[in-house]
């Protein structure tokens, strides 16, 4: 496989033929002998499968039925009797809609994920999406039941020689989690540190900054060799990881200054406009402004 200029493999499509001879195309953004990062056609959403001799960890399997089926096939082909885990980094509907496709997996999420109010509304978002696009899924849609609840930073799951360390990550949503797979030096960041999105602050900007601080601390103290965001491209360049932290922190700080001064900063608008898909991201930027204004009012 050829590598791009950042040292990561170029995105390719794997073709899978099912028993009914239906051809399925699924984008694989990154792959090595233990980590496979699938990328959906929608919102460049990533779904990660990490395979060791002890476990198979599946993260946020999504979006379309054919894409989830490709992830299922990969898990099946990788299965040598390891215990399967299914991690939800947060409760946005696009990150939970595939959970019943992996009934054998032990589910993992934060305490906030379990205690979240409005679960029915989240499930309804999945039904609305499927209805809008005439999508039929071969499994039941409902809110995930969680077997292992993450309550504190550095909570760890160990299986044989494999360990996964979890950190609470509120800010984007109140119930976020990011994880480090120690054997592969992989940081699964959830909806943080994307190269195709600036911060989407759906919960609280100060909490978001604290999560950024945690991510920076993990990068400085642990040998992270691969960063996987929830949307966009993975990276194995340490400077790129640092740059994404710096950009996220800068965006929140400048947006807060803009809201407090009740001014429009050209430099901030230029930063937002520098991203692709500017119409949708422009809407998220306005949502961030309203969130920040509500926080300032107390």
Q: How far apart are CA 119 and CA 117, in angstroms?
A: 6
Characterize the bridge pairing of strands 148-150 and 106-110. Answer: parallel
pLDDT above 70 (res 64): yes
The per-residue pLDDT for range 127-162, each reduced to its tens digit, is 999 999 999 999 999 999 999 999 999 999 999 999
**Do residues 277 and 231 touch, judged by C-beta distance below 8 A?**
no
The per-residue pLDDT for range 31-56, each reduced to its tens digit, is 999 999 999 999 999 999 999 999 99
Which of 53, 34, 48, 50 has its CA nearest to residue 159? 53
Nearest-5° angle of CA 41, CA 174, CA 148? 85
The per-residue pLDDT for range 265-278, each reduced to its tens digit, is 899 999 999 999 98
Q: What is the arithmetic mean of pLDDT over 77-106? A: 96
Characterize the bridge pairing of strands 23-31 and 177-181. Answer: unpaired
Length of the chain: 298
Which of 89, 31, 286 has its CA nearest to residue 278? 286
Which of 198, 188, 175 has its CA nearest to residue 230? 188
Architecture of the domain made up of 12-250: 4-Layer Sandwich (3.60)
pTM, two decimals, is 0.90
Output b/e per residue, 244-271; b: 16+ Cβ within 10 A: bbebbbebbeebbebbeeeeeeeebeeb
């Amino acid at each position: 496989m050829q590598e791009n200029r950042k040292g990561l493999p170029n995105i390719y499509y794997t073709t899978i033929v099912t028993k009914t001879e239906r051809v399925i195309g699924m984008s694989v953004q990154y792959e090595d002998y233990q980590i496979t990062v699938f990328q959906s056609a929608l919102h460049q959403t990533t779904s990660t499968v990490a395979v060791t001799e002890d476990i198979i960890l599946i993260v946020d399997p999504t979006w379309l039925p054919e894409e989830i089926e490709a992830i299922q096939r990969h898990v099946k082909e990788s299965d040598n009797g390891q215990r399967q885990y299914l991690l939800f980094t947060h409760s946005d509907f696009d990150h939970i809609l595939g959970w019943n496709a992996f009934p054998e997996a032990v589910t993992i999420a934060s305490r906030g994920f379990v205690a979240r109010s409005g679960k029915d509304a989240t499930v309804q978002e999945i039904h609305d999406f499927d209805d809008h696009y005439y999508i039929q899924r071969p499994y039941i849609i409902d809110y995930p039941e969680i077997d292992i609840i993450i309550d504190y930073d550095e909570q760890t799951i160990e299986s044989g020689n494999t360990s996964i360390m979890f950190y609470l990550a509120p800010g984007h949503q109140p119930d976020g989690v990011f994880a480090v797979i120690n054997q592969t030096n992989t940081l699964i960041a959830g909806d943080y540190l994307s190269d195709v999105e600036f911060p989407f602050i759906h919960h609280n900007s100060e909490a978001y900054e604290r999560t950024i601080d945690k991510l920076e601390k993990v990068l400085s103290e642990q040998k992270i060799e691969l960063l996987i965001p929830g949307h966009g491209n993975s990276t194995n360049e340490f400077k790129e990881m640092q740059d994404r932290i710096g950009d996220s922190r800068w965006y929140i700080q400048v947006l807060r200054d803009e809201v407090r001064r009740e001014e429009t900063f050209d430099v901030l608008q230029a930063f937002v406009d520098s991203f692709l898909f500017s119409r949708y991201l422009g809407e998220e930027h306005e949502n961030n402004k309203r969130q920040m204004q509500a926080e300032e009012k107390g």
